[in-house]
Amino acid sequence: MNNEEYYDVLIIGSGAAGLTLALSLPDSLKVAVLSKTTIEENATFYAQGGISAVIDDSDSIAAHVEDTVRTGGGLCKPETVQFIVERGRESIDWLSSKGVSFSKRRSKSGRQELHLTQEGGHSARRVVHAADKTGEAIENALVSRFRKSSVGLFENHIAIDLICSHSLPKRCDGVFVLDKSNNQIRSIGAKITVLATGGAGKVYLYTSNPDVSTGDGIAMAWRAGCRVANMEFVQFHPTCLYHPDAKSLLLTEALRGEGGILRLPNGRRFAEGYHPMGELAPRDAVAQAIDTEMKKGGYDHVYLDISHKSEDFIKKHFPNAYEGCLRFGFDLSSQPIPIVPAAHYFCGGVVTDLKGRTNIENLYSIGETGCTGLHGANRMASNSLLECLVLAESSAAAIADKLDKKSTFVKIPDWDESLVVDSEEEVVVSHNWDELRRVMWNYVGIVRSSSRLQKARRRIDLLKLEIAEFYGSYKMKSDLIELRNLVQVADLIIKSATHRKESRGLHYTLDYPESNQKYNEDTLLDPQED
């Protein structure tokens, strides 16, 4: 096997965080981006809402910070929130310079200005968007710029594990990678390795995430020795289309920001009975309200109704949601739409500082993979893309400064598969994949309890053993790599949720329905203490 493949910076993931970093690094560096499928297939592409930033004169940095901290349930790091929020306008300007066409409106004075919408938890209109296809607009613009750059690209390559030294402090020297086109494994060396692999929504049965969101970065980092934090705080988006053939059609929160109403099957409005902000409450409150009403009434779904708005308004502001619903036989402009909550965003992840640095030398983590302290116990809508952009930029500066100093490549090992054989039992992988996601949905979902977590713990422990045995015996395939990562993420979620004996933010348990000052801190997990 040829190991003469080395880069100054290897970025694993091609969403907003990964591509922003790639485009922000100096041209003098040899950089490559690794993508599991095509470069465009990632959670960024499917993000509909927008990016929160203080734009309007009636808004303020202080108000944005206050909203974020309030939504975060007492666990946000104030210095992190301040650092990221105050760079919002700069991030919007940077994206505009890269070709992103944000939605505009005509001001009273007649000039064109950014159209701002309002989403859950925000006290002002501060969400910059491109209709309801913001992520697609951002990804397409960044990909276009990327293809004109000198940055290398490995599409259809999935990372297996990080290559780390055994010295102290531990150092990351690259990654083992499966080339899905020929099922061959290669080792790629790097002075700096960056995890930008997104979240892990596929650990749940219902999710708004694309199939690539399997927690790869978090799982690899944990196995390598990275600390993780706040894995119990999983955000469930309240409104995904309920239809057997709709895999992950998210109906943007901006629909509620523009007047969308949640209704029961009998037409009754119910959100205001759970939170004074009604449909505009933070996502955890809205998701819990929906979950409670579904369980109480025995409903498979509830409804989102914006049919009181004109057809022209809906087509102009929500073309993606309108066309998506039409594909499944629903007209957003004339009827209520059936919806259910679905796993959406991970507030926890690999612990980093504001430069993306982990506790392993030369290993960085940005975007949803990392945990900076911005979101605390609950992410406020549209803060995630902002974090991707700001952390990618600050990481780029830190990496460029580090590599400006004397730095050399380290010889990396080959992958050893001398003791494994081809599998004739692929059904084991598919069965475990399905069981894992159902266990997590049923026992570790929107509403939890100690007994549910214990049931999940027992089954996940067995699945970990089965998957580890399969992994050690058979040749590597993409589904097995992802399953191994998902079961590790599931294990971390359950450990974190079991530790937090209170209800806070996105973690709600029937046994401890109130918050407890004893737990007014991050849930930190360290593989050295596991």
Distance between CA atoms of residues 455 and 514, nearest Å? 23
Instruction: Say if CB 282 and CB 71 are below 8 A apart.
Output: yes
End-to-end CA distance of the chain: 35
Which residue's structure tokens are 């430069």? 355
> What is residue 421's three-state secondary structure?
strand
What DSSP designation does 350 have?
E
Spell out the residues 6+ positions from residue 236 whose beta carbon is closer than 8 angstroms to its own: 283, 284, 287, 341, 342, 343, 344, 445, 446, 506
Distance between CA atoms of residues 98 and 255, nearest Å? 27
Strands (E), 102-156: 104-106, 112-114, 116-117, 127-128, 152-154
Distance between CA atoms of residues 58 and 481, nearest Å? 49
Question: Nearest 10 degrees: CA dihedral of 438, 444, 447, 449?
Answer: 120
Instruction: Say if CB 507 and CB 377 are below 8 A apart.
Output: yes
Let me know if 434 is exposed, middle or buried by CB neighbors in 10 A (0-12, 13-18, 19+): exposed
**One-letter amino acid for residue 393 of the chain:** E
Instruction: Say if CB 154 and CB 178 are below 8 A apart.
Output: no
Distance between CA atoms of residues 435 and 445, nearest Å? 14
User: What are 192's strand-pairing partners?
Assistant: 9
User: What are 350's strand-pairing partners?
Assistant: 228, 370
CA proximity to 197, closest of 482, 507, 524, 490: 482
> What is residue 412's three-state secondary structure?
coil
Q: What are phi and psi of 288, to 5 degrees?
A: -65, -35
Strands (E), 266-358: 302-305, 337-346, 349-351
The two structure tokens encoding residue 97: 């310079």
What DSSP designation does 369 have?
G
CA proximity to 445, closest of 250, 294, 312, 259: 294
Distance between CA atoms of residues 20 and 17, nearest Å? 5
Which residue's structure tokens are 């965003």? 345
What DSSP designation does 125 have?
-
The two structure tokens encoding residue 470: 């399969």
Distance between CA atoms of residues 324 and 276, nearest Å? 31
Query: What amino acid positions are annotated as catalytic residues?
Result: 283
Half-sphere exposure of 225 (CA within 13 A, CB side): 17
Instruction: Say if CB 67 and CB 122 are below 8 A apart.
Output: yes
